[in-house]
Amino acid sequence: MHARHNSLLMGVALAAMLVACGSNVPSASSAPVPLRLGYYPNMTHATAIVGIENGILAEALGSGVDLQLKVFNAGPDVVEAIFTGALDASYVGPNPTINAFIQSHGEAIRIIAGSASGGAALVVKPEITTPQQLAGKTLSSPQRGNTQDVALRAWLAEQGLVTNLEGGGDVSIQPQANGDTLTSFIAGEIDGAWVPEPWASRMVEEGGGSVLVDERELWPDGQFVTVNLIVATTFLEAHPDIVKRLLVAQVKATEFVNTNPEAAQRVVGSAIADLTGSAMSATVLVKAWQNLTFTVDPIASSLATSAAHAKTLGLLESDDLEGIYDLGPLNEVLAEASATPVPGP
C-alpha cells in the first residue's frame, strides 16, 4: 500500500468510491445523520487528527452526516460514553475496547479497523535504571484500566512488583491526564509514567527522563495495536453506509500520514497544541513519530494478549473476544482500492 503505484491506484479508487457512494447520502430535505466520533489529542491518534484537520473525514462522510467530534483523555471515558449512548464511534486503545466488549457481553461495540501500532513507553527519572529501583516509587498512567495502565501493571507484575487499583502496593500508580503527567514529572512529583506519544518523548526531551521500557520490545516483531477504530453495534447496524464512508476516510488518512510524514507531523503537532494548550518542539514531533507505525491492520493477534493481561490483573472477568471484529467493511474498502486486505483473529 506504500508503493507509489499502489498509492495512485488507491487515490483513484477511493475517489471513485466517494462518487459511487453518493446514492447512500440522505437527500437534502432529510436531516443529517449525527455521527458522534471520539479521539484523543495524542500522536497515536494521528490518522484521526489528520482526517479531521485535513478535511478527509468530512469529504468522505458528505453533507448527509452531521459529524460531532468528542475529545477524550483515555479509553474508560470512551467506554462510558458508548454505554450511555453519547458516542457512536471512536479511536481508542485495545484495553478499553476489550472492556466495552466484555462488559456488554459482546453486544456494545465492534472493531472495524486498526489505526496505530507502537508509540508507548515507560519513562522514568534518569537515576532509575532497573525495575527493582521502582519499589517505593510513584508512577502515572493516563487512566485506571486504560491501555497504558494495563501494560504498566502487567509489566510490573512480571518484575515481581505488586500494585493494586487503589494506588498501593510495591509501586504506587496514580493515573492522571497526560498533560498533567508531564507537569508532575518536571516538578518531581512522580518518578515516571507509562504514556503514549508524544508524551513519552516530551518527558524525555522536556523533563530529562529516560526510557526504561519501550513497549515495542515486549511484542513479537515490535508490533502491537495501540489504537483501534471501533463503532457502536447499534450504529453499525443502522448506518452501514456511513460506517463504510468512515473507513474510506480512515484508509485515506492512513495513506496521507505514511506518504507525507512531515506535513502530517505539522498538522498533528498544531492540533495537539490547540487541544491541550501545550505545544511541543519539532524535535519531539520527529522523535515521537519514529516510534509509531500507522496502519489500518488492527493486529488482532496482540489483542488476546492484552485481554489476558487485564484478566490476570483483575480488570476483566473474561477474556473471550469471539465476535469483537467486523472487518468485512474495511476489507471491502481495501479491495475497491486494490489494496491488501487485513487478516482477522
Cβ count within 10 A of residue 115: 28
Digitized pLDDT (tens) for each residue of the chain, 345 residues in all? 333 334 433 443 444 444 344 444 444 458 999 999 999 998 999 999 999 999 999 999 999 999 999 999 888 899 999 999 999 999 999 988 999 999 999 999 999 999 999 999 999 999 999 999 999 999 999 988 888 999 999 999 999 999 998 999 999 999 998 889 999 999 999 999 999 888 999 999 999 999 999 999 999 999 999 999 999 999 999 999 999 999 999 999 999 999 999 999 999 999 999 998 888 888 999 999 999 999 999 999 899 998 999 898 888 888 899 999 999 999 999 999 999 999 888
Topology match between the domains 4-118+223-336 and 120-221: yes
CATH code linked to domain 120-221: 3.40.190.10
Range 312-316, long-range pairs (CB < 8 A, 24+ positions): 312/154, 312/157, 313/150, 313/153, 313/154, 313/157, 314/165, 315/95, 315/99, 315/145, 315/150, 315/165, 316/98, 316/99, 316/102
What pTM, to 2 d.p., does this model score?
A: 0.82
- Ranges of each domain in the chain: 4-118+223-336, 120-221
Number of C-alpha atoms within 13 angstroms, CB side, residue 215? Answer: 32
Provide the CATH topology of domain 4-118+223-336: D-Maltodextrin-Binding Protein; domain 2 (3.40.190)
